[in-house]
Amino acid sequence: MENKKELRNWLDDLNLGHPLVIAGPCSAETEEQVLKIAHELKDTDVNYYRAGIWKPRTRPGNFEGVGALGLKWLQKVKEETGMKTATEVANAAHVKLALEHDIDLLWIGARSTVSPFIVQEIADALEGTDKIVLVKNPVNPDLSLWLGAIERLHTANIKKLGVIHRGFSTYEKTKFRNNPNWQLAIELQTKFPDLPIINDPSHITGKRDMVFDISQIALDLNFDGLMIETHHDPDKAWSDAAQQVTPNTLVQMMRDLKVKKEADAEAEYNKKLNNLRAKIDVVDHEIIELLGKRMLVSDGIGKLKKEKNVAVLQSKRWNEILGRMVLEGQDHGLSEEFVLKMFKAIHQESINHQEKIING
Ligand code: PEP
Ligand code: MN
């Protein structure tokens, strides 16, 4: 799929003047709940009202959604509030029902994007639709699966496309429910700068008190919008209770988030600068995380050396590492002087760690 300006026509045509906002509960629970939240979100910046009707739960036995019945409630939302509606579809039957109920925006969930079979089935069912279709990133950090899904939809002649970045699962425990791996989203933005990209801070964080900060990072990285799970009584939500915010909190967040407008040359300059700085922040964060991981490995070596009663410093191996890193550094435009200085510092920190282990 080549990059095309047309990819963002649907978003530009909305003429919002602010980032696109998709909000509403994780799941439609009852008709009253769906309508209550919708009325609280009416007359706010919310553009699309979301509610999950079919809920893909990782383990069976949890609430799996109210099913097609909920689509009628979403139709009522549109009649009563004028808000457009959005829901997740995960197979051809869902697509058929959602289109019959005039859902305006459909998204493919993270557990579906991993399966080209499912994505193709959905693309075939949606062929030629003029509804907006957004693809969440796959649960695993694989850019080509994500792109593959977009390509399948594009080939099915679906014009109003976009992606949702909702973070990735990791084997290691992190403070996030789904690790943002911003680098991957940035790579996608670089490849397809005109493909609208929405951030889903709710599923990234899993915790409502982290939603604001992630939203701000996303806006600094030039994301086009946010999808935020919103519930009138979050703690009592039937799914994803810990990450949902109240409509009031959402409104306050929309006021507090800094959005850079491209008003004049100075603002344009600031916006670009801010965007580049946000990218640097992402990389710096990864550098620190990687260094921390390196020290953990080094600690393991320290423990082994202690058991075997071996000296901490092993110069021969260290010189080999340095030689290799200087060469690799050259491939990445890094000077020998810099690589040597940096690795000396890293080496010293490793030695300090190991000495602590050996000497107690
Ligand atoms: C959701 O949006 O409620 C959802 C299930 O999301 P994801 O596919 O990102 O897990
Ligand atoms: Mn959810």
Helix (H) or strand (E) holding 228, with range, is strand 225-229
Say whether both 82 and 227 belong to one domain. Answer: yes
Residues 211 and 279 in one domain: no
Let me know whether 54 and 200 are in one domain: yes
Tell whether 238 and 319 lie within a shared domain: no
Ligand 1 contacts CB of residue 110 (under 6 A):
yes
> Is residue 19 scored above 90 in pLDDT?
yes
198, 229, 259 - which closes a domain: 259
Q: Probe ligand 1: pick from 26, 137, 164, max atoms within 8 Å of CB?
A: 26
- Give the CA radius of gyration of the chain: 24
Q: Who has greater pLDDT, 320 or 106? A: 106
Position 260 scores a pLDDT of 67
The whole-angstrom separation of Cα 352 and Cα 19 is 48
Closest ligand 1 atom, residue 110 Cα: 8
Query: Is 166's C-beta closer than 6 angstroms to any atom of ligand 1?
Result: yes
173-204 pLDDT, tens digit per residue, is: 889 999 999 999 999 999 999 999 999 999 99
- Position in ligand 1 atom list of the atom nearest CA 167: 9
Half-sphere exposure of 324 (CA within 13 A, CB side): 6
Whether residues 276 and 245 fall in one domain: no
Q: How far apart are CA 354 and CA 360, in angstroms?
A: 10
How much distance in Å is there from the Cα of 148 to the middle of ligand 1?
Answer: 19
Name the band, by pLDDT with cuts 50, 70 and 90, for residue 3.
low
The domain of 289 spans: 267-359
Co-location of 272 and 254 in the same domain: no
CA of 356 to the centre of ligand 2 (A): 44
Pair (287, 341) in one structural domain: yes
Sequence-distant (≥ 6) Cβ neighbours of residue 89 within 8 angstroms: 54, 95, 98, 106, 107, 108, 122
Pairwise CA distance, residues 334 & 343, whole Å: 12
Cα(220)–Cα(214) distance, rounded to whole angstroms? 10
Q: Residues with beta carbon < 5 A to ion ligand 2? A: 26, 240
Strands 132-136 and 105-108: parallel
User: Cα–Cα distances in Å, from 108 out to 14, 35, 144, 216, 256?
Assistant: 21, 24, 16, 24, 30
- pLDDT confidence bin for 272, thresholds 50/70/90: confident
Residue 272: CATH number of its domain: 1.20.59.10
Residues 285 and 249 both lie in one domain: no
Identify the nearest ligand to the CA of 53 by its number.
Answer: 1
Q: What integer best gives the mean pLDDT of the chain?
A: 93
Does residue 272 sit in the same domain as residue 240? no
Question: Which residues is 317 bridged to in the sheet?
Answer: none
Of the pLDDT bands very low, low, confident and very high (cuts 50, 70, 90), residue 102 is very high
Q: Whose CA is nearest to atom 1 of ligand 1?
A: 26
Q: How many distinct structural domains can be found in the chain?
A: 2
pTM as predicted: 0.83
Atom of ligand 1 nearest to the CA of 137: 9
pLDDT value at position 261?
62
pLDDT (tens digit per residue) in 305-332: 888 887 777 778 888 888 999 999 999 9
Same domain, 255 and 272: no
Residue 127: pLDDT over 70: yes
The residue whose C-alpha atom lies closest to atom 9 belonging to ligand 1 is: 110
pLDDT at 259 over 80: yes
The CATH number of the domain holding residue 39 is 3.20.20.70
Specify whether 251 is located in the same domain as 282. Answer: no
Among 192, 260, 196, 267, which Cα is nearest to 225's?
196
Domain shared by 138 and 211, yes or no: yes
